[in-house]
Chains A and B, each alone.
Chain A
């Protein structure tokens, strides 16, 4: 029998101001999964996360974390999950090591246990040297890493990351991806929301997309990849191609030496280059216009 880290059934949320943020959402996240939870701004992702973490009240429906209802047994849920919120919610005035010790205490860890775990997490995330600083003295990337460390102090089984790499430079983002993958390999289920679809595509095994409070896609990443039949490339050549017609009907001229082509998934890059060569045009550069997940995302959220 499949064990689920998260089960959401017919979840609805209407805020007091009348905004219907979630409309009958149902989805499951398997134990051990690295799950992408995607959607444009205001789609309802943070509301779902708020409900899982008990910071937002449910209008109707059920949410279970490791089989227990979050409204009926919130203490169990809170012990099982760690959450990295989208917005910084750090106490700006106390040293970050003290924040960690406090959070550990809220979860029942002694000061010694919290200190030990803090050192381990801070060293893994490269912020141990900043342990005596307050959040005000940290860069954006360091604050993100601190929030990740804070969410992991009690060894949660389910980690919810709400845009954890927003505003983080490329090098650090790659380091964080490795960190998430390692955590997932160690058995932590991860739910990731992100606007960097490449991040979701690289890291996640399954995904859900919400749009205007509704679930519009829920499948495995491999299904998404194989379902995309067309692919768009940008080609840069060494010749004037404004009057050529290499890929008739599927070619859009960008400038004299560049064009955009839409081809079937089965056509290889070599075949594309050969087609241009046959017309005495050398291909200098070939770029994928957008990744497959991005194509799906735009298709679902702009329809």
Chain B
């Protein structure tokens, strides 16, 4: 009976979130697809032809996994931070907190919303990339598994950001000043090992570099950083961030007085 209740509640939040982003797909899906299309056109085709090969692979093959994971990160994050903060701003979030929902159900529902958008964007970007080059997936299950872990992590981070945000400016600070630099410096466009030693060492502290590397391994079978380390790191970060998000929800931070 309780299981059924939780399932209905969870599916309701998920459906609400899924309908929200899919209804405005021109704002949520299309921009990422166009951006990545331009990246592949410019970096993959025009500049890539001059760069030649990295790790014995055409440059376009080298960058595509990173270009797929970039929108997966940003879309899962932005979906949850946008939706939850918008609810706080309109106060419609109170609907959730006056209902008999457990904090786990609320968080999981929002995370599933972010994950669903990340998967759709990731798939759309992959399809776009096929228009430029035939890139077979080395390990499909690992690619899906990593997409799941990465989108779960960044959905939770988006949730935490939304709980603390005091204005719409605050929901853009982390993506602009933290996520974007980490993503660009995460080895999407270059091999970490082509960097000077100091920058190589600094890159080892960039968690997104591990994610890009693991995703690249899943796609093209080339491993720059240990894939197991990336998976363990993702599990640990998800556990820590999930615990923090549940603490925030239980305390009612951003919602209760």
Contact = CB atoms under 8 A, between A and B. Distances in A.
Interface of A: 15, 50, 53-57, 74-76, 78-79, 81, 83, 85, 87-94, 98-99, 101-110, 150
A89 B12 contact: no
B202 interface: no
B112 to A, nearest CB: 14
Chain B: interface residue count, which band?
20 to 34
A57 B252 CA distance: 9
B9 A55 contact: no
A213 to B, nearest CB: 15
B214 to A, nearest CB: 36
Contact of A105 (B11, B20, B97, B256): B11
Interface string B95-122: 1111111100000000000000000000
Nearest to A76: B100
Interface in B171-216: none
B95 A102 contact: yes
A89 B8 contact: no
Contact of B94 (A15, A81, A85): A85
A108 B9 contact: yes
A241 to B, nearest CB: 54
Contacts of B5: 108
Interface stretch (B84-92, B151-159, B233-241): B84-92
Given A55-B255, A57-B252, A103 B99 contact: yes
Question: Which label, helix, strand, loop or mixed, suits the secondary structure of the B interface?
Answer: helix
Interface in B208-235: none
Contacts of A85: 91, 94
Contact of A103 (B15, B19, B95): B95
Nearest to B7: A108
A48 to B, nearest CB: 12
A55 B11 contact: no
Nearest to A85: B94
A14 to B, nearest CB: 11
Contacts of A54: 97-98, 256
B141 interface: no
A54 B94 CA distance: 10
Contact of B9 (A99, A105, A150): A105
Interface of B: 4-5, 8-9, 11-13, 15-16, 19-20, 87, 90-92, 94-102, 252, 255-257
A83 B98 contact: yes
7 closest Cβ contacts across the A-B interface?
Answer: A105-B12, A106-B99, A89-B91, A91-B92, A75-B100, A108-B5, A78-B100
Contacts of A89: 90-92, 94-95
A107 B257 contact: no
B8 A50 contact: no
B199 to A, nearest CB: 44
B239 to A, nearest CB: 25
Contacts of A98: 19
Most buried by B among A74, A89, A101, A104: A89
A50 B90 contact: no
A55 B91 CA distance: 11
Most buried by A among B4, B16, B102: B16
Nearest to A107: B99
A225 to B, nearest CB: 34
B168 to A, nearest CB: 15
A199 B20 CA distance: 40
Contacts of A75: 100, 102
26 contacts: A54-B256, A55-B257, A56-B257, A78-B100, A85-B91, A88-B91, A89-B90, A89-B91, A90-B90, A90-B92, A91-B87, A91-B90, A91-B92, A92-B90, A94-B16, A102-B15, A102-B95, A104-B12, A105-B8, A105-B9, A106-B9, A108-B4, A108-B5, A108-B9, A109-B8, A110-B8
